[in-house]
Structure 1
């Protein structure tokens, strides 16, 4: 694993915008092709193997949480628990997730956290960096079969859905969320599904028929949402999930609430203590001297505190933490000349499917961290 400086393509902004990538630069550069990371095939195979094993462990952890009624540790509201259990027992399939991994090309990859419900950076990982590679060095390859696997899994999912169109939804004011959602819709269409788009603010509720409806008052029976369940369950919207007489099919299913919560990290450590790809994680500080304190529900690196030798060495502000925290043993991100990468390793339909790299100037990956491409040598 090496970080290599290179020359960006001429007029690369226009090139990526032509792919539909409109948020390459915000207040700070987000897409950065002045560098890339190179990996050997054995390194990629290691990441692929670890991703598959982590997914298997996570599935076992969900069963453990349900069997032992551990929902309180996750601060999941009681009203949604029966829906979660039903979605699990009915094998409601999940389409995707992103494991954030520590990896330096030498040691064993370590799980930092799992973005299981609304993972972003999918379009960048699947499409944008692939076309960068084709322009940069056509014969080279990437750890990237995301596009093909997404289309194939939508085809598979079709048999689980109600015999009706599949709606795609996200909030109105996020170009990143819209791009990711539109990309997923495109993959579903290529998989042969009939689809429609609606902003989540425009989804209605029919009190008489007890069901979600679109702007034309048509029932919504299948829906992919890029909107966090932990937000939904604190709104009237979430209460309606349970009241829905149409039993709308949700992608991702509600059982992903268990995996998208950082409380899963101590559960994994309890179930698989000293596993080589896990970091010691607890609901209390325990005997940790060097640790990362994380809210069980937080996004984009908010409200993170890193402590080393009893001293705070990094922290971020935010509005999360009300539900509680977990404590994870500190494993400093690898340092490539003052740049700190996190491997985002994707799972699609139970299978490892590719990766993207987010790079930061510090030890906490946040919404200002850069996305950089990779290739295999």
Structure 2
């Protein structure tokens, strides 16, 4: 991304934005992606409602004349709605659109009279990313005005368009300059004019007394037309089709918020002025609305949190009153004031807006993850949706002084959560306990709860086949690169050991390893970023968790819920078995192997994961497998014993560096240094270290890797360094070299521990997914971040382990079964 300050400066100059305090916070460079189905619904309902609205407007003096009673009188209202000329083409409008918590689309208001946002959409259009919703917007904006102008003027010469603004509104002045810029190579000449700059001569409109104006394109509100000099003559000229006004001033009827109440009154009366299809469209996407009066005010007072009140002709979020933001006494007083004002107000069901997870820029050139409410502007020209924008706010009411924007894309995200169809909560709990019981008996599983939180989700993570294929290919290619690199590091530990954070006492253990496999069982952690790009976060090549869950739960839930998708872990157990058998055979080439210790610390999760490894090794040959606590291992005459029996080979579910950092384990270092014991070999600490990613970037361009391998690293591994250098993004994470389970990872917003060794890695903006999270006391819908772990048996992808949790995944993460679509 560009430096945020420089990016802001480009926007200010190239898009004629207004410079103001806090300008660097307004435009995020990180796109927000709307789900494909919601995007399609936005487009469909907006175009349908616009069609209905224009049909009503076309009959404003006929069967829909009652609409005139639903918004306040203003100077010239009678004259405007007495115009006999046909309606002008509808050049532009913007619908303020919200997504509720049930994923329904609702329009809260229509901006037909003077919609802004074109500059902001153009900024988003310039962002280069797949799925950009605004590609080609400016081209369409220019073309449609040209089409309208050429049809009206019937001229091949330059056409003057007066861009009517209130000069006191600085933003509108900038808007006129922007339009002048984008039309400068066209047949249209944009002339910015204010309310004092128009005159009429011989029935024609002139700007600054000399420039004949064929079309008035206005950002000047209809109800304030009386402030325009010579307005009655201008309207006469318009009525005689000697000038075209865009949008038509009569469009204020469907701009007014009273229009919503009018439409709902037609539905309540079962009026034949709307057909059943159109009534259904209104029910689906326009919140229930009434004109506020003394009768319904009683309900509004009693249930204030359900309603919002708006002035029928209010603008800029002014005269909008959200009940839940008031105390009872304040609300009562506000209602009294509104009723006494005699202005028409509507009362509308408050949309239960869902929060979105997005990013906001800050003054330190960082992008802050933020939960916010999105006010989506759906931009319509004539009859078609042609653009989208979003204004983010931390509060329900969008405040122009505290809002920011981001580019918008249509989501083609290759991951989705599919909820299991369970009748009710009681049945869900019953299924969960049955699953827990089955796992306990089959696998000695004791991890169904993390404190009071359920660890297992009964929902399903559905992975697109194309993404799964990419994970397999990338996983295998990454292993090839590591197999090429780690022997060089292994033979030069004096140089690389300190860089990777490997204790010097373990060097001989690492170099002693002669196993040809990259690892016995490891796990590459993948994420998918906002753009749908696959990234590698780390490689846990020593102690990957989730083995029981991936083998057991995936299979059980597929059967229980009749899941129609493929189980990626169907052959995981066999792949592990084959790899372990091959490694044991390699060890047997140099020594006799009879007693195999499968050991771990006695942490509950480690026990059942190690136990299933123990069971698999028992199937690998005629061995005596001893499952036990690693702290019970003894050393006598440089030989290793467990529970009185001499050990020939060890599978350790225990990090190699802990043999050094835990003093009681140091006794094992000497025998491990002189004899091959480890089934998950000592060299796996090299690939376990997060600093290896920094080493990979250091050797790029040094002729160690070929061009394809270097391109692979740049594409799939976030930039990683040992120091904060000039290449590192301002959005980064600092990770301790050998940390696990997210422990010790800090973001660029936090203070790092100077006593620890960190690598610095560009933050991947993972797209979170909504899911229900359960505890023993409640259910919550939360944003959770999926980490797709690809098990590596030997050097091939063997299965998938998906956990989903907070932005930095830690011990509170949940397991969710994954299936391939």
Correspondence for 1:212 among 611, 618, 640: 640
- Larger relative helix fraction: 2
Structural RMSD (CA): 2.4
| Cα distance in 1 for residues equivalent to 2:565 and 2:516 | 38
The corresponding residue for 1:96 is: 521
The corresponding residue for 1:14 is: 434
The corresponding residue for 2:696 is: 268
- Report the alpha carbon displacement of residue 302 of structure 1 after superposing the two structures with TM: 1.5
Higher mean C-alpha deviation, range 1-10 or range 248-257: 1-10
Gaps of 5+ in 1: none
| Cα distance in 2 for residues equivalent to 1:76 and 1:117 | 14
Q: How does 1:1-377 map to 2 (within 5 A)?
A: 1-6=415-420, 7=422, 8=428, 10-19=430-439, 20=443, 21-68=445-492, 69-88=495-514, 91=516, 94-103=519-528, 107-137=532-562, 139-144=564-569, 145-161=571-587, 162-172=592-602, 174-194=603-623, 195-206=625-636, 209-216=637-644, 218-234=645-661, 235-243=663-671, 247-272=675-700, 273=710, 275-287=714-726, 288=728, 289-307=730-748, 311-312=749-750, 322-337=755-770, 338-360=783-805, 362-377=806-821
Residue aligned with 2:716, SS: coil
- Report the alpha carbon displacement of residue 323 of structure 1 after superposing the two structures with TM: 4.3
Report the TM-score when normalising by structure 2.
0.42
Larger radius of gyration: 2
The answer as to whether partners of 2:518 and 2:795 remain within 8 angstroms in 1 is: no
| Cα distance in 2 for residues equivalent to 1:99 and 1:344 | 6
- Report the alpha carbon displacement of residue 83 of structure 1 after superposing the two structures with TM: 2.7
The answer as to whether partners of 2:512 and 2:673 remain within 8 angstroms in 1 is: no
| Cα distance in 1 for residues equivalent to 2:530 and 2:491 | 37
Q: Deviations along 1:117-138, whole A, 9 cap, x unmatched?
A: 1111121112222221122225
Higher mean C-alpha deviation, range 180-189 or range 39-48: 39-48
The answer as to whether partners of 1:155 and 1:193 remain within 8 angstroms in 2 is: no
| Cα distance in 2 for residues equivalent to 1:245 and 1:114 | 24
Higher relative contact order (CA 8 A, sep 6+): 1
- Report the alpha carbon displacement of residue 374 of structure 1 after superposing the two structures with TM: 1.4
Shift in CA distance, 221/374, structure 1 to aligned 2, threshold 3 Å: same
- Report the alpha carbon displacement of residue 254 of structure 1 after superposing the two structures with TM: 1.0
> How many residue pairs end up in the alignment?
363
Q: Deviations along 1:54-101, whole A, 9 cap, x unmatched?
A: 11122223134235431111232223213312314x536621111111
| Cα distance in 2 for residues equivalent to 1:93 and 1:303 | 27
Shift in CA distance, 321/182, structure 1 to aligned 2, threshold 3 Å: farther
Q: Deviations along 1:225-283, whole A, 9 cap, x unmatched?
A: 11111111233533533345972511211111111111111012233555211110000
Shift in CA distance, 293/138, structure 1 to aligned 2, threshold 3 Å: closer
The answer as to whether partners of 1:30 and 1:369 remain within 8 angstroms in 2 is: no
Q: Deviations along 1:155-174, whole A, 9 cap, x unmatched?
A: 223312332121111112x1
The answer as to whether partners of 2:490 and 2:683 remain within 8 angstroms in 1 is: no
| Cα distance in 2 for residues equivalent to 1:238 and 1:213 | 15
The answer as to whether partners of 1:269 and 1:279 remain within 8 angstroms in 2 is: no
- Report the alpha carbon displacement of residue 177 of structure 1 after superposing the two structures with TM: 0.4
The answer as to whether partners of 1:97 and 1:347 remain within 8 angstroms in 2 is: yes
